[in-house]
Copies of this chain bind each other. A is one copy, B any other.
Amino acid sequence: MSHAREMLDASPGPEDLGVVEIAAAIDACADCAQTCTSCADACLAEDDVAAMRDCIRLDLDCADICGATQRVLSRHARFDAALISRLLLACVHACAGCAKECARHADHHDHCRICAEVCRSCERACRALLDEEALKELQALAGG
């Protein structure tokens, strides 16, 4: 059991909010923020840095958004569902975009292969917190 889960169990606050899923999303966001920061630095050190610019930027954006999402999710005693949904929609988008770009470099840069996997995991963990309502909006948004 991760400390995120232990801390949620030890905290005052609503009990019916899916502690397992929230802890999983917190852990996934923390992991993704770190991995993306590391991947941006590794990309910058590669010989083909000019070809890695988009990847670096997507890594940096993803790290910042996952970091903020992790912190907001960690404040679980007062849960603003509307705020969380908006933030998760941004986070899912950032993870999906970063995973897609990293996957393009996965065969020649091992750090991109790992980062693509971590981003996909984070995308899944965040999607699991978004209810039907929010996903419909996401679909409408994506179709627009």
Contact = CB atoms under 8 A, between A and B. Distances in A.
Nearest to A139: B142
A87 B62 CA distance: 11
B74 A41 contact: yes
A44 B77 contact: yes
Contact of A35 (B3, B72, B133): B3
A140 B71 CA distance: 27
Nearest to A70: B34
B57 A64 contact: no
Nearest to A33: B30
Nearest to A71: B64
Interface of A: 3-4, 6-8, 10-13, 26, 30-31, 33-35, 37-42, 44-46, 49-50, 53-54, 56-57, 60-61, 63-65, 67-68, 70-72, 74-78, 80, 82-83, 85-87, 89-90, 93-94, 97, 109-111, 113-115, 118, 133, 135-144
14 contacts: A3-B34, A3-B118, A7-B38, A10-B42, A12-B42, A37-B75, A44-B56, A44-B57, A64-B68, A64-B72, A83-B97, A86-B93, A89-B89, A137-B144
